[in-house]
Amino acid sequence: MLERIARHLLCSSDPESMSVGELLALEPQSIQGLNDVWLGYTEYPGDPALRRELATLYRNIDADGFIVHTGAQEAIFSFMHSMLASGDHLIVHMPGYQSHYAVAQAMGVDVTPWLAREESGWSLDPDELDAMLTPHARAIVLCSPHNPTGYVPTRDVFDAIVEFARRNGLWLFSDEVYRGLEHDPATRLPAVCDVYERGVSLGALSKTHGLAGLRLGWIATQSKNVLARMSAFKDYLTISNSAPSEYLSKIAVRHTDALLDRNTAIVRANLDVLDAFLARRADRFEWHRPRAGTIGFVRLKLGNAERFCADLLERTGVLLLPSTLIDHGDAHVRIGFGKRNMPDVLGRLDAYLDECAA
Ligand SMILES: Cc1ncc(COP(=O)(O)O)c(C=O)c1O
């Protein structure tokens, strides 16, 4: 809600977006196709042609292994309601994206946070999983690349998580909405759905592609059970997707490489500016430089996050996200570096800090 009244966003989790015209310009002949889009219901799991395009992003998933949703958010809600019930147990990578735990908690699911270790770059330790296991455990939620820290597990850690899930028959719900926005492409991990038969990969055009306004997300999985249950549940949500959005999404997916190059270039340049700023302001802040995505999680050395963010917003119109909003104490703020105007907005934060010090 605050995002609508703040004048300068410095916590956005998505990269710079673009207009419909800019997207269509990637395929000039596509304008006529947009005019011809039929405005009836689309196929419930998503337009087959779109699902065929999405399959090019994975190694072991064909067009039948997807359910397209209205954003990643709908898919999270649907997974929780389709695959879990009150009294089940869910292990969730934290700090994290609120829906990863709040939807399940609201259903009466017992949630155990699996805490990332700040002192070691927000890393996960798979050896901690055994102690969290209960007889009712049904699933693990992993977010990789991670919101809000930009952490990407090493391949060994990733394999150990998959093996733990396999050994214990758990679903592994892997939020991969930032996959593709690794700052060094060599750190990119496989999609969980490609390597694990009970893995469910969550994708979206909102983050990596920078097209949140398309409201287009999906799950990809080898599990017929998940596909059947989530298809049935979608009947109670949006039924089918927006036909114009599916049309535009096909174009976006076909041009994944170009969109990734564009967004990664902005992110890399901004990240250098932000890293230098935080080093210069080391008396106030510390962080672990993110390895992927558009956001980082910064520790405040002075004061508390909620008060700091409220005062900053009131005096400058700049919005940062305090960690209280994601249930992780009151000492961190989420900062976004995906937008082209990030250096300007950061300048306002810099001026505010000077004023505070004066
Ligand atoms: C990690 C993560 N998952 C899912 C979502 C939801 O994405 P969408 O806008 O596609 O619903 C977000 C949005 O901020 C996110 O950061």
- Tokens 């962080």 identify what position? 287
| Closest residue by CA, ligand 1 atom 15 | 97
The packing angle between helices 342-357 and 305-316, to 10°, is: 100
For the chain, give every residue range classified as CATH 3.40.640.10. 37-254
171 DSSP β-pair partners: 139
Q: How far apart are CA 234 and CA 311, in angstroms?
A: 42
Say whether pLDDT at 86 is over 70: yes
Selection from 95, 107, 106, 80 nearest residue 173 by Cα: 80
Return the closest-CA partner of residue 100 out of 152, 172, 158.
Answer: 172
CB atoms within 10 A of CB 169: 9
Residue 298 near residue 287, CB atoms below 8 Å: yes
Beta bridge partners of 98: none
Instruction: Give the pLDDT mean for 256-266.
Output: 97
Task: Determine which residue's CA is closest to atom 7 belonging to ligand 1.
Answer: 72
> How many Å lie between the centroid of ligand 1 and the Cα of residue 301?
29
Band of residue 270 on the pLDDT scale cut at 50, 70, 90: very high
At 119, the pLDDT band (50, 70, 90 cuts) reads very high
Alpha helices by DSSP H, the chain = 2-5, 20-24, 30-36, 48-55, 71-83, 99-106, 129-132, 155-167, 192-195, 224-234, 243-254, 256-280, 305-316, 342-357
358 pLDDT band, cuts 50/70/90, is confident
For the 2-18+257-352 domain, the top CATH level (class) is alpha beta
Among 2-6, 63-67, 130-134, 304-308, the range scoring the smallest mean pLDDT is 2-6
Q: Kindly state if the Cβ of 13 falls inside 6 Å of ligand 1.
A: yes
Mean pLDDT of 87-116: 98
- Measure the CA–CA gap between 136 and 24, rounded to whole angstroms: 49
For a ligand 1 pocket test, name from 174, 176, 206, 211 the mutation site with the most ligand atoms within 8 angstroms of its C-beta.
206
Q: Ligand 1 centre from 204 Cα, in Å?
A: 8
Buried b / exposed e over 260-281, threshold 16 CB at 10 Å, is bebbbebbeebbeebeebbeee
Is residue 2 scored above 90 in pLDDT? Answer: no
Q: Could you tell which of 98, 147, 205 is best to mutate to test the pocket of ligand 1, judged by most ligand atoms within 8 Å of the CB?
A: 147
Q: Could you tell me how many residues make up the chain?
A: 358
Does the Cβ of 260 fall within 6 Å of ligand 1?
no
Bridge partner list, 335: 296
Map residue 130 onto helix, strand or coil: helix
Report whether residue 122 contacts ligand 1, using a CB cutoff of 6 Å: no
Q: Determine the Cα angle at 199 with ends 195 and 200, to 5°.
A: 125
Cβ contacts of 243 within 8 Å, gap of 6 or more: 37, 38, 39, 40, 42, 47
DSSP letter at 19? Answer: -
Could you tell me where in the chain the CATH 3.90.1150.10 domains are found?
2-18+257-352
pLDDT of residue 4: 65
Q: Is residue 10 lining ligand 1, measured as CB closer than 6 Å?
A: no
Q: What is the pLDDT of residues 282-296, one digit of tens each?
A: 999 999 999 999 999
For residues 312-325, average pLDDT: 96
Our answer on whether the CB atom of 97 is closer than 6 Å to any ligand 1 atom is yes
Q: What is the residue with the minimal CA distance to atom 13 of ligand 1?
A: 13
User: For residues 225 and 209, what is the distance between their CA atoms, to the nearest angstrom?
Assistant: 29
Distances (CA, A) of 180 to 197, 256, 257: 22, 9, 9
Mean pLDDT of the chain: 97
**Least-confidence region, from 2-16, 90-104, 195-209, 237-251:** 2-16
- pLDDT tens track for 120-138: 999 999 999 999 999 999 9
Name 356's Cβ contacts closer than 8 Å, sequence gap at least 6: none
- Cα–Cα dist 140/94, whole Å: 11
Torsion angle of C-alpha atoms 132, 73, 180, 333, degrees rounded to 10? -70
Q: Nearest to residue 201, comparing CAs of 47, 16, 59, 70?
A: 59
Distance 76 CA to ligand 1 centre (A): 9
Instruction: Assign a CATH topology to domain 37-254.
Output: Aspartate Aminotransferase; domain 2 (3.40.640)
Whether residue 1 is predicted with pLDDT greater than 60 in this model: the reply is: no
